[in-house]
Amino acid sequence: TVFAVLNQLEWAALFVFIGIFFDFFDGLAARALNVQSEVGVQLDSLADVITSGLVPGIVMFQLLNMSQTGGWNTPFNHEVTDTMAWYGGKFTVVSLLGFVITLASAYRLAKFNVDENQVSSFVGLPTPANALMILSLPLILMYHNNDALNSIILNPWFLAGLTLLSAYLLNSPIK
């Protein structure tokens, strides 16, 4: 989360990928060792909200902000009077749309925890898959010098549409 806030999106992506990897195997290990508990389920969901919900929301916030301001931000100046400040400087209100991903992910995970129909299969897009999709965008920007692709990814309409689409898919009835 810290790396995403500080706009070090490459590092944020790396740690989310590691988190998703361990999230997959901790569930397998708990089932294999028969050490499942309700507290463990809730803690796993809390970790998932951070890894696969909050970080992608911050990354989308940063991308939306970048699409509006035209570049990566500078370090935060910690001035309390600057109400439109973020750890990267100024931001546009449209950038806040990125946090819809966080809210949709949290709702999806809460629904997953109480839904008896999701024991053997998922309903809706799993949060790790959504996180991988969102976190791939800054990596594409960093490692591909394709102006056409970059202009699509940094188009605020594309990012807003992708945000709303991912929020829908996370909570859709699609199996």
Residue 118 lies in a domain: yes
Q: Quote the number of domains for the chain.
A: 1
61 assigned to some structural domain: yes
Digit-coded pLDDT (tens) for 140-163: 999 988 889 989 999 999 999 999
In the chain, the amino acid numbered 36 is Q
Do residues 128 and 45 touch, judged by C-beta distance below 8 A? no
Alpha-carbon distances, residue 41 vs 28, 78, 113, 119, 145 (angstroms):
12, 37, 8, 13, 42
Distance of CA 106 to the CA centre of its chain: 11
Structure confidence at residue 112 (pLDDT): 86
Q: What does the pLDDT read at residue 101?
A: 98
pLDDT for 55:
97
Quick: pLDDT tens for 90-133.
667 888 999 999 999 999 999 888 877 766 677 889 999 999 99
Look at residue 107 and tell me if it is in a domain: yes
**pLDDT, tens digit, 9 for 90 and up, residues 12-71:** 999 999 999 998 888 788 888 888 888 888 888 899 999 999 999 999 999 998 888 776
The per-residue pLDDT for 119 is 63
123 assigned to some structural domain: yes
Q: Among candidates 25, 91, 93, 20, which has minimal Cα distance to 56?
A: 20
Instruction: Provide the residue range defining the domain that includes 136.
Output: 2-170
Within a domain: residue 26?
yes
In a domain, 175, yes or no: no
The answer as to whether 12 is a domain residue is: yes
CA distance linking residue 79 with residue 56, whole number of Å: 26
Residue located via tokens 């944020």: 12
